[in-house]
Structure 1
Amino acid sequence: MSHLVGKDMRGGYGGADILNGCTIEVDKGQIAVVVGPNGAGKSTAMKALFGMLNLREGAVTLGGEDITALSPQDRVAKEMAFVPQTNNVFAGMTVEENLEMGAYLRHDDFTGTMEEIFDLFPILAEKRKQYAGELSGGQRQQVAVGRAMMMQPSVLMLDEPTAGVSPIVMDELFDRMIAIKRTGIAVLIVEQNARQALEIADIGYVLVSGENRYTDSGAALLADPEVRRAFLGG
Protein backbone atom coordinates (compact mmCIF):
# COMPACT_ATOMS: atom_id res chain seq x y z
CA MET A 1 0.00 0.00 0.00
CA SER A 2 1.23 3.50 -0.80
CA HIS A 3 1.96 5.95 2.01
CA LEU A 4 -1.03 8.21 1.19
CA VAL A 5 -4.15 6.68 -0.35
CA GLY A 6 -7.51 8.27 -1.14
CA LYS A 7 -9.63 5.32 -2.27
CA ASP A 8 -12.99 5.42 -4.06
CA MET A 9 -13.57 9.02 -2.96
CA ARG A 10 -17.06 10.46 -3.47
CA GLY A 11 -18.28 13.83 -2.26
CA GLY A 12 -18.82 17.48 -3.01
CA TYR A 13 -19.87 20.73 -1.40
CA GLY A 14 -23.50 19.96 -0.62
CA GLY A 15 -24.96 19.57 -4.11
CA ALA A 16 -24.08 16.97 -6.70
CA ASP A 17 -20.92 15.00 -6.05
CA ILE A 18 -17.76 16.41 -7.64
CA LEU A 19 -15.70 13.34 -6.86
CA ASN A 20 -17.25 10.20 -8.33
CA GLY A 21 -15.18 7.33 -7.01
CA CYS A 22 -11.66 8.50 -7.86
CA THR A 23 -8.61 6.91 -6.27
CA ILE A 24 -5.31 8.75 -5.82
CA GLU A 25 -2.22 7.48 -4.06
CA VAL A 26 1.44 8.34 -3.69
CA ASP A 27 4.29 6.63 -1.92
CA LYS A 28 7.32 8.08 -0.19
CA GLY A 29 10.00 9.09 -2.67
CA GLN A 30 7.45 9.48 -5.47
CA ILE A 31 5.90 12.38 -7.34
CA ALA A 32 2.24 11.84 -8.22
CA VAL A 33 0.60 14.36 -10.55
CA VAL A 34 -3.15 14.92 -10.98
CA VAL A 35 -4.19 16.49 -14.28
CA GLY A 36 -7.38 16.87 -16.27
CA PRO A 37 -9.71 19.48 -17.77
CA ASN A 38 -11.19 22.37 -15.80
CA GLY A 39 -13.93 21.14 -13.50
CA ALA A 40 -12.53 17.60 -13.38
CA GLY A 41 -12.31 17.63 -9.58
CA LYS A 42 -8.52 17.88 -9.30
CA SER A 43 -8.37 20.47 -6.52
CA THR A 44 -11.42 18.93 -4.85
CA ALA A 45 -9.58 15.60 -4.66
CA MET A 46 -6.61 17.36 -3.07
CA LYS A 47 -8.89 19.01 -0.50
CA ALA A 48 -10.52 15.66 0.27
CA LEU A 49 -7.14 14.09 0.92
CA PHE A 50 -6.28 16.94 3.30
CA GLY A 51 -9.59 16.82 5.17
CA MET A 52 -11.05 20.04 3.77
CA LEU A 53 -13.95 18.14 2.20
CA ASN A 54 -16.09 15.55 3.95
CA LEU A 55 -16.35 12.40 1.88
CA ARG A 56 -19.72 10.77 1.33
CA GLU A 57 -17.99 7.52 0.44
CA GLY A 58 -14.43 6.27 0.37
CA ALA A 59 -11.51 6.53 2.76
CA VAL A 60 -8.14 8.22 3.17
CA THR A 61 -5.23 6.36 4.76
CA LEU A 62 -1.77 7.60 5.72
CA GLY A 63 0.90 5.05 6.49
CA GLY A 64 -1.83 2.42 6.69
CA GLU A 65 -3.85 4.43 9.27
CA ASP A 66 -7.40 5.52 8.42
CA ILE A 67 -7.44 9.32 8.73
CA THR A 68 -10.77 9.92 6.96
CA ALA A 69 -12.34 11.53 10.04
CA LEU A 70 -9.37 13.73 10.97
CA SER A 71 -9.41 17.53 10.60
CA PRO A 72 -6.79 19.28 8.44
CA GLN A 73 -5.04 20.41 11.63
CA ASP A 74 -4.80 16.83 12.85
CA ARG A 75 -3.45 15.76 9.45
CA VAL A 76 -0.71 18.39 9.73
CA ALA A 77 0.24 16.82 13.05
CA LYS A 78 0.41 13.49 11.19
CA GLU A 79 3.09 14.99 8.89
CA MET A 80 0.91 16.12 5.99
CA ALA A 81 1.58 19.52 4.41
CA PHE A 82 -0.65 21.36 1.94
CA VAL A 83 0.28 24.39 -0.19
CA PRO A 84 -2.83 26.09 -1.64
CA GLN A 85 -2.73 27.84 -4.99
CA THR A 86 -3.38 31.36 -3.69
CA ASN A 87 -3.02 33.32 -0.44
CA ASN A 88 -0.26 30.93 0.61
CA VAL A 89 2.19 33.38 2.22
CA PHE A 90 1.97 36.02 4.94
CA ALA A 91 2.69 39.08 2.81
CA GLY A 92 3.39 41.37 5.78
CA MET A 93 6.02 39.03 7.24
CA THR A 94 9.59 38.47 6.11
CA VAL A 95 10.68 35.29 4.39
CA GLU A 96 12.31 34.11 7.60
CA GLU A 97 9.17 34.86 9.65
CA ASN A 98 7.05 32.93 7.14
CA LEU A 99 9.30 29.90 7.57
CA GLU A 100 9.12 30.23 11.35
CA MET A 101 5.33 30.19 11.12
CA GLY A 102 5.60 26.87 9.31
CA ALA A 103 7.21 25.35 12.40
CA TYR A 104 4.41 26.35 14.77
CA LEU A 105 3.77 22.79 15.94
CA ARG A 106 7.43 22.03 16.58
CA HIS A 107 8.99 22.27 20.02
CA ASP A 108 12.57 21.50 19.01
CA ASP A 109 15.33 23.55 17.40
CA PHE A 110 14.27 24.00 13.77
CA THR A 111 17.17 26.18 12.60
CA GLY A 112 18.71 23.18 10.82
CA THR A 113 15.50 22.66 8.84
CA MET A 114 15.46 26.33 7.88
CA GLU A 115 19.02 26.09 6.59
CA GLU A 116 18.04 23.03 4.54
CA ILE A 117 15.25 25.09 2.95
CA PHE A 118 17.68 27.89 2.20
CA ASP A 119 19.93 25.31 0.52
CA LEU A 120 16.94 24.09 -1.52
CA PHE A 121 15.83 27.64 -2.42
CA PRO A 122 18.99 29.83 -2.38
CA ILE A 123 17.04 32.96 -3.37
CA LEU A 124 15.15 32.74 -0.08
CA ALA A 125 18.41 32.86 1.88
CA GLU A 126 19.33 35.99 -0.04
CA LYS A 127 15.93 37.57 0.69
CA ARG A 128 15.35 36.16 4.18
CA LYS A 129 14.78 39.63 5.69
CA GLN A 130 12.54 40.86 2.85
CA TYR A 131 8.75 40.95 3.15
CA ALA A 132 7.10 38.09 1.29
CA GLY A 133 4.64 40.52 -0.32
CA GLU A 134 7.53 42.21 -2.13
CA LEU A 135 8.68 39.01 -3.84
CA SER A 136 7.89 37.77 -7.35
CA GLY A 137 5.21 35.14 -7.84
CA GLY A 138 7.75 32.37 -8.24
CA GLN A 139 9.64 33.45 -5.13
CA ARG A 140 6.42 33.54 -3.10
CA GLN A 141 5.72 29.97 -4.23
CA GLN A 142 9.14 28.99 -2.93
CA VAL A 143 8.31 30.61 0.41
CA ALA A 144 5.02 28.71 0.54
CA VAL A 145 6.72 25.39 -0.18
CA GLY A 146 9.50 26.18 2.26
CA ARG A 147 7.03 27.00 5.00
CA ALA A 148 5.25 23.68 4.42
CA MET A 149 8.60 21.88 4.59
CA MET A 150 9.36 23.36 8.02
CA MET A 151 7.14 20.71 9.62
CA GLN A 152 9.32 17.98 8.06
CA PRO A 153 6.29 16.36 6.41
CA SER A 154 6.13 12.87 5.01
CA VAL A 155 3.62 14.12 2.40
CA LEU A 156 3.82 17.43 0.53
CA MET A 157 0.70 18.42 -1.43
CA LEU A 158 0.70 21.33 -3.88
CA ASP A 159 -2.33 22.80 -5.65
CA GLU A 160 -1.36 24.42 -8.97
CA PRO A 161 2.15 25.46 -7.84
CA THR A 162 3.13 26.89 -11.24
CA ALA A 163 0.00 28.97 -11.86
CA GLY A 164 0.94 32.39 -13.18
CA VAL A 165 4.72 31.89 -13.23
CA SER A 166 7.07 32.02 -16.21
CA PRO A 167 8.24 28.83 -17.98
CA ILE A 168 11.73 29.29 -16.50
CA VAL A 169 10.34 29.57 -12.97
CA MET A 170 8.05 26.59 -13.61
CA ASP A 171 11.03 24.45 -14.61
CA GLU A 172 12.90 25.58 -11.50
CA LEU A 173 9.97 24.72 -9.23
CA PHE A 174 9.62 21.29 -10.81
CA ASP A 175 13.37 20.72 -10.33
CA ARG A 176 12.91 21.51 -6.63
CA MET A 177 10.02 19.02 -6.46
CA ILE A 178 12.37 16.33 -7.77
CA ALA A 179 14.95 17.27 -5.14
CA ILE A 180 12.29 17.06 -2.41
CA LYS A 181 11.04 13.62 -3.48
CA ARG A 182 14.62 12.33 -3.44
CA THR A 183 14.70 13.02 0.30
CA GLY A 184 12.00 10.36 0.71
CA ILE A 185 8.95 12.63 0.85
CA ALA A 186 5.74 11.74 -0.99
CA VAL A 187 4.92 14.65 -3.33
CA LEU A 188 1.42 15.11 -4.76
CA ILE A 189 0.82 17.87 -7.30
CA VAL A 190 -2.39 19.12 -8.92
CA GLU A 191 -1.32 20.90 -12.07
CA GLN A 192 -2.77 22.64 -15.14
CA ASN A 193 0.55 22.51 -17.02
CA ALA A 194 -0.08 18.84 -17.66
CA ARG A 195 2.66 18.02 -20.13
CA GLN A 196 5.45 19.55 -18.04
CA ALA A 197 4.12 18.03 -14.82
CA LEU A 198 3.86 14.53 -16.28
CA GLU A 199 7.50 14.76 -17.32
CA ILE A 200 8.50 14.63 -13.64
CA ALA A 201 5.73 12.28 -12.47
CA ASP A 202 6.40 8.76 -11.23
CA ILE A 203 2.64 8.24 -11.45
CA GLY A 204 0.01 10.35 -13.14
CA TYR A 205 -3.76 10.53 -12.75
CA VAL A 206 -6.01 12.01 -15.43
CA LEU A 207 -9.36 12.91 -13.84
CA VAL A 208 -12.54 13.59 -15.79
CA SER A 209 -15.79 14.41 -13.97
CA GLY A 210 -14.31 13.25 -10.67
CA GLU A 211 -13.34 9.83 -12.01
CA ASN A 212 -10.05 8.22 -12.97
CA ARG A 213 -9.89 8.27 -16.76
CA TYR A 214 -6.23 7.23 -17.05
CA THR A 215 -3.68 6.12 -14.44
CA ASP A 216 -0.12 5.24 -15.39
CA SER A 217 3.47 6.42 -15.13
CA GLY A 218 4.10 9.94 -16.31
CA ALA A 219 6.14 8.67 -19.24
CA ALA A 220 3.43 6.22 -20.30
CA LEU A 221 0.73 8.90 -20.20
CA LEU A 222 2.88 11.26 -22.26
CA ALA A 223 3.34 8.49 -24.82
CA ASP A 224 -0.37 7.55 -24.96
CA PRO A 225 -1.86 9.01 -28.15
CA GLU A 226 -5.35 9.23 -26.62
CA VAL A 227 -4.05 11.18 -23.61
CA ARG A 228 -1.99 13.45 -25.87
CA ARG A 229 -4.91 14.13 -28.18
CA ALA A 230 -7.53 14.74 -25.48
CA PHE A 231 -5.54 16.42 -22.71
CA LEU A 232 -2.12 17.54 -23.94
CA GLY A 233 -2.96 19.36 -27.15
CA GLY A 234 -1.87 16.65 -29.58
Structure 2
Amino acid sequence: MSFLHANAMTGGYGTGADILHDCSLTVQKGEIAVIVGPNGAGKSTAMKAVFGMLNLRQGSVNLDGEDITHLSPQERVRKGMGFVPQTNNIFPTMTVRENLEMGAFIRSDDIEASIDLVYELFPAVFEKRNQNAGELSGGQRQQVAVGRALMTKPKLLMLDEPTAGVSPIVMDELFDRIIEVARTGISILMVEQNARQALDIADKGYVLVQGANAYTDTGANLLADEEVRRTFLGG
Protein backbone atom coordinates (compact mmCIF):
# COMPACT_ATOMS: atom_id res chain seq x y z
CA MET A 1 0.00 0.00 0.00
CA SER A 2 1.09 3.58 -0.68
CA PHE A 3 2.50 5.67 2.15
CA LEU A 4 -0.59 7.89 1.92
CA HIS A 5 -3.71 6.22 0.58
CA ALA A 6 -6.82 8.39 0.55
CA ASN A 7 -9.45 6.17 -1.04
CA ALA A 8 -12.83 7.06 -2.58
CA MET A 9 -13.34 10.21 -0.48
CA THR A 10 -16.87 11.61 -0.70
CA GLY A 11 -18.01 14.49 1.48
CA GLY A 12 -18.11 18.20 2.16
CA TYR A 13 -18.18 20.80 4.90
CA GLY A 14 -20.58 20.32 7.80
CA THR A 15 -24.04 19.37 6.57
CA GLY A 16 -23.56 21.02 3.17
CA ALA A 17 -23.52 19.36 -0.21
CA ASP A 18 -20.74 16.96 -1.15
CA ILE A 19 -17.75 18.64 -2.79
CA LEU A 20 -15.64 15.51 -3.23
CA HIS A 21 -17.01 12.61 -5.22
CA ASP A 22 -15.16 9.29 -4.98
CA CYS A 23 -11.82 11.14 -4.97
CA SER A 24 -8.67 9.07 -4.42
CA LEU A 25 -5.08 10.21 -3.83
CA THR A 26 -1.92 8.22 -3.14
CA VAL A 27 1.60 9.36 -2.32
CA GLN A 28 4.66 7.18 -1.96
CA LYS A 29 7.52 7.76 0.48
CA GLY A 30 9.63 10.72 -0.64
CA GLU A 31 7.35 11.41 -3.60
CA ILE A 32 6.02 14.78 -4.76
CA ALA A 33 2.33 14.53 -5.68
CA VAL A 34 0.56 17.59 -7.11
CA ILE A 35 -3.17 18.31 -7.33
CA VAL A 36 -4.20 20.64 -10.15
CA GLY A 37 -7.44 21.58 -11.86
CA PRO A 38 -9.76 24.50 -12.60
CA ASN A 39 -11.02 26.90 -9.94
CA GLY A 40 -13.68 25.27 -7.79
CA ALA A 41 -12.51 21.76 -8.67
CA GLY A 42 -12.15 20.76 -5.02
CA LYS A 43 -8.35 20.73 -4.90
CA SER A 44 -7.92 22.37 -1.49
CA THR A 45 -10.97 20.49 -0.22
CA ALA A 46 -9.32 17.18 -1.13
CA MET A 47 -6.22 18.14 0.82
CA LYS A 48 -8.28 19.27 3.80
CA ALA A 49 -10.11 15.94 3.69
CA VAL A 50 -6.79 14.13 3.93
CA PHE A 51 -5.97 16.30 6.96
CA GLY A 52 -9.32 15.62 8.64
CA MET A 53 -10.81 19.10 8.28
CA LEU A 54 -14.12 18.02 6.76
CA ASN A 55 -16.58 15.20 7.13
CA LEU A 56 -16.33 12.20 4.83
CA ARG A 57 -19.56 10.38 4.08
CA GLN A 58 -17.61 7.65 2.36
CA GLY A 59 -13.99 6.70 1.90
CA SER A 60 -10.93 6.28 4.06
CA VAL A 61 -7.50 7.77 4.74
CA ASN A 62 -4.50 5.59 5.55
CA LEU A 63 -1.05 6.87 6.50
CA ASP A 64 1.91 4.51 6.69
CA GLY A 65 -0.42 1.52 6.84
CA GLU A 66 -2.62 2.93 9.62
CA ASP A 67 -6.27 3.90 9.20
CA ILE A 68 -6.55 7.53 10.40
CA THR A 69 -9.97 8.27 8.87
CA HIS A 70 -11.57 9.19 12.17
CA LEU A 71 -8.68 11.09 13.74
CA SER A 72 -8.77 14.87 14.30
CA PRO A 73 -6.26 17.14 12.51
CA GLN A 74 -4.35 17.49 15.79
CA GLU A 75 -4.08 13.73 16.10
CA ARG A 76 -2.97 13.46 12.48
CA VAL A 77 -0.12 15.89 13.16
CA ARG A 78 1.11 13.53 15.86
CA LYS A 79 0.89 10.66 13.35
CA GLY A 80 3.21 12.51 10.99
CA MET A 81 1.17 14.96 8.91
CA GLY A 82 2.25 18.57 8.43
CA PHE A 83 -0.14 21.06 6.82
CA VAL A 84 0.61 24.55 5.49
CA PRO A 85 -2.58 26.49 4.62
CA GLN A 86 -2.57 29.06 1.85
CA THR A 87 -3.21 32.07 4.11
CA ASN A 88 -2.82 32.96 7.79
CA ASN A 89 0.01 30.46 8.04
CA ILE A 90 2.45 32.39 10.25
CA PHE A 91 2.36 34.22 13.58
CA PRO A 92 3.09 37.77 12.32
CA THR A 93 3.89 39.35 15.70
CA MET A 94 6.42 36.63 16.61
CA THR A 95 9.97 36.46 15.32
CA VAL A 96 10.90 33.96 12.65
CA ARG A 97 12.76 31.91 15.25
CA GLU A 98 9.70 31.93 17.54
CA ASN A 99 7.53 30.76 14.64
CA LEU A 100 9.82 27.77 14.19
CA GLU A 101 9.72 27.03 17.92
CA MET A 102 5.90 27.09 17.79
CA GLY A 103 6.09 24.43 15.09
CA ALA A 104 7.80 22.11 17.56
CA PHE A 105 4.99 22.32 20.11
CA ILE A 106 4.33 18.55 20.02
CA ARG A 107 7.96 17.64 20.60
CA SER A 108 9.82 17.02 23.85
CA ASP A 109 13.25 16.35 22.32
CA ASP A 110 15.96 18.83 21.38
CA ILE A 111 14.80 20.94 18.42
CA GLU A 112 18.04 22.71 17.51
CA ALA A 113 19.03 20.21 14.80
CA SER A 114 15.64 20.71 13.15
CA ILE A 115 15.98 24.49 13.30
CA ASP A 116 19.43 24.20 11.73
CA LEU A 117 17.94 22.04 8.95
CA VAL A 118 15.27 24.68 8.25
CA TYR A 119 17.96 27.38 8.16
CA GLU A 120 19.97 25.24 5.74
CA LEU A 121 16.98 24.68 3.46
CA PHE A 122 15.87 28.31 3.61
CA PRO A 123 18.83 30.72 3.95
CA ALA A 124 16.43 33.69 3.94
CA VAL A 125 14.75 32.29 7.06
CA PHE A 126 18.13 32.21 8.77
CA GLU A 127 18.90 35.78 7.72
CA LYS A 128 15.55 37.03 9.04
CA ARG A 129 15.44 34.82 12.14
CA ASN A 130 15.28 37.73 14.60
CA GLN A 131 12.69 39.77 12.67
CA ASN A 132 8.96 39.60 13.22
CA ALA A 133 7.50 37.29 10.59
CA GLY A 134 4.87 39.88 9.69
CA GLU A 135 7.61 42.15 8.31
CA LEU A 136 8.72 39.63 5.67
CA SER A 137 7.87 39.46 1.98
CA GLY A 138 5.23 37.03 0.76
CA GLY A 139 7.80 34.52 -0.43
CA GLN A 140 9.76 34.71 2.82
CA ARG A 141 6.56 34.20 4.83
CA GLN A 142 5.85 31.05 2.83
CA GLN A 143 9.33 29.76 3.62
CA VAL A 144 8.74 30.39 7.32
CA ALA A 145 5.38 28.59 7.12
CA VAL A 146 6.94 25.56 5.46
CA GLY A 147 9.81 25.65 7.94
CA ARG A 148 7.42 25.72 10.86
CA ALA A 149 5.57 22.68 9.49
CA LEU A 150 8.90 20.86 9.11
CA MET A 151 9.56 21.43 12.81
CA THR A 152 6.92 18.80 13.62
CA LYS A 153 9.19 16.27 11.82
CA PRO A 154 6.40 15.26 9.42
CA LYS A 155 6.38 12.14 7.29
CA LEU A 156 3.91 13.80 4.91
CA LEU A 157 4.01 17.55 4.22
CA MET A 158 0.89 19.08 2.66
CA LEU A 159 1.10 22.49 0.98
CA ASP A 160 -1.97 24.46 -0.13
CA GLU A 161 -1.03 26.87 -2.95
CA PRO A 162 2.51 27.53 -1.64
CA THR A 163 3.36 29.91 -4.51
CA ALA A 164 0.15 31.97 -4.47
CA GLY A 165 0.91 35.66 -4.94
CA VAL A 166 4.67 35.35 -5.29
CA SER A 167 6.85 36.35 -8.23
CA PRO A 168 8.00 33.76 -10.81
CA ILE A 169 11.55 33.92 -9.42
CA VAL A 170 10.33 33.24 -5.87
CA MET A 171 8.05 30.48 -7.18
CA ASP A 172 11.02 28.71 -8.80
CA GLU A 173 13.00 29.04 -5.58
CA LEU A 174 10.16 27.61 -3.49
CA PHE A 175 9.79 24.68 -5.86
CA ASP A 176 13.55 24.03 -5.63
CA ARG A 177 13.28 23.93 -1.84
CA ILE A 178 10.28 21.60 -2.03
CA ILE A 179 12.35 19.20 -4.15
CA GLU A 180 15.08 19.33 -1.49
CA VAL A 181 12.56 18.53 1.25
CA ALA A 182 11.34 15.49 -0.70
CA ARG A 183 14.92 14.30 -1.09
CA THR A 184 15.15 14.00 2.70
CA GLY A 185 12.47 11.26 2.47
CA ILE A 186 9.44 13.40 3.34
CA SER A 187 6.40 12.82 1.13
CA ILE A 188 4.85 15.96 -0.40
CA LEU A 189 1.20 16.53 -1.34
CA MET A 190 0.70 19.94 -2.92
CA VAL A 191 -2.20 21.91 -4.38
CA GLU A 192 -1.10 24.39 -7.04
CA GLN A 193 -2.66 26.87 -9.47
CA ASN A 194 0.66 27.17 -11.33
CA ALA A 195 -0.06 23.81 -12.87
CA ARG A 196 2.65 23.59 -15.52
CA GLN A 197 5.46 24.47 -13.13
CA ALA A 198 4.09 22.19 -10.41
CA LEU A 199 3.68 19.20 -12.72
CA ASP A 200 7.22 19.78 -13.95
CA ILE A 201 8.57 18.84 -10.50
CA ALA A 202 5.89 16.24 -9.68
CA ASP A 203 6.46 12.52 -9.53
CA LYS A 204 2.69 12.12 -9.71
CA GLY A 205 -0.09 14.47 -10.76
CA TYR A 206 -3.82 14.53 -10.14
CA VAL A 207 -6.22 16.60 -12.23
CA LEU A 208 -9.50 17.13 -10.35
CA VAL A 209 -12.75 18.29 -11.92
CA GLN A 210 -15.84 18.92 -9.80
CA GLY A 211 -14.37 17.03 -6.86
CA ALA A 212 -13.55 13.89 -8.83
CA ASN A 213 -10.44 12.38 -10.40
CA ALA A 214 -10.25 13.33 -14.09
CA TYR A 215 -6.64 12.36 -14.87
CA THR A 216 -3.91 10.64 -12.85
CA ASP A 217 -0.41 10.05 -14.17
CA THR A 218 3.20 11.09 -13.76
CA GLY A 219 3.80 14.82 -13.94
CA ALA A 220 5.72 14.38 -17.21
CA ASN A 221 2.94 12.34 -18.83
CA LEU A 222 0.26 14.84 -17.85
CA LEU A 223 2.34 17.68 -19.31
CA ALA A 224 2.67 15.67 -22.53
CA ASP A 225 -1.05 14.82 -22.74
CA GLU A 226 -2.67 16.97 -25.45
CA GLU A 227 -6.12 16.86 -23.83
CA VAL A 228 -4.75 17.88 -20.44
CA ARG A 229 -2.69 20.68 -21.98
CA ARG A 230 -5.58 22.02 -24.03
CA THR A 231 -8.22 21.80 -21.30
CA PHE A 232 -6.29 22.62 -18.13
CA LEU A 233 -2.91 24.12 -19.04
CA GLY A 234 -3.86 26.70 -21.66
CA GLY A 235 -2.71 24.76 -24.73
Distance 1:113 1:87 in 2: 23
Deviation at 1:15, TM superposition (A): 2.2
Distance 1:2 1:173 in 2: 26
Distance 1:2 1:179 in 2: 21
CA deviation vs aligned residue, 1:192-223 (integer Å, no higher than 9, x gap): 00000000000000000111000000000000
Structure 1 SS opposite 2:56: coil
Aligned to 2:5: 5
1:12-51 residue pairs with structure 2 within 5 A? 12-13=12-13, 14-51=15-52
1:102-181 residue pairs with structure 2 within 5 A? 102-181=103-182
Structure 2 SS opposite 1:58: strand
1:70-81 residue pairs with structure 2 within 5 A? 70-81=71-82
Q: What amino acid is the match of 2:233?
A: L
Distance 2:215 2:68 in 1: 26
With normalisation by structure 2, the TM-score equals: 0.99
Deviation at 1:54, TM superposition (A): 1.2
CA deviation vs aligned residue, 1:51-95 (integer Å, no higher than 9, x gap): 001100000000111000000000000010000000000000000
Distance 1:79 1:9 in 2: 20
Between the two proteins, the alignment pairs up a number of residues equal to 234
Q: What amino acid is the match of 1:124?
A: V
Q: What amino acid is the match of 2:11?
A: G
Distance 2:148 2:180 in 1: 16
Structure 1 SS opposite 2:215: strand
Structure 2 SS opposite 1:20: strand
Structure 2 SS opposite 1:56: strand
CA deviation vs aligned residue, 1:3-42 (integer Å, no higher than 9, x gap): 1111000001222210000101111110000000011100
Identity percentage over the alignment?
A: 71
CA deviation vs aligned residue, 1:138-168 (integer Å, no higher than 9, x gap): 0000000000000111000000000000000
Compute the RMSD of aligned alpha carbons: 0.5
Structure 1 SS opposite 2:124: helix
Structure 2 SS opposite 1:233: coil
Distance 1:94 1:33 in 2: 31
Structure 2 SS opposite 1:55: strand
Structure 1 SS opposite 2:23: strand
List alignment gaps of at least 5 residues for structure 1. Answer: none
CA deviation vs aligned residue, 1:119-146 (integer Å, no higher than 9, x gap): 0000111110000000000000000000
Deviation at 1:2, TM superposition (A): 1.0
CA deviation vs aligned residue, 1:155-193 (integer Å, no higher than 9, x gap): 000000000000000000000010000000100000000
Q: What amino acid is the match of 2:4?
A: L
Distance 1:119 1:145 in 2: 13
Distance 2:130 2:17 in 1: 47
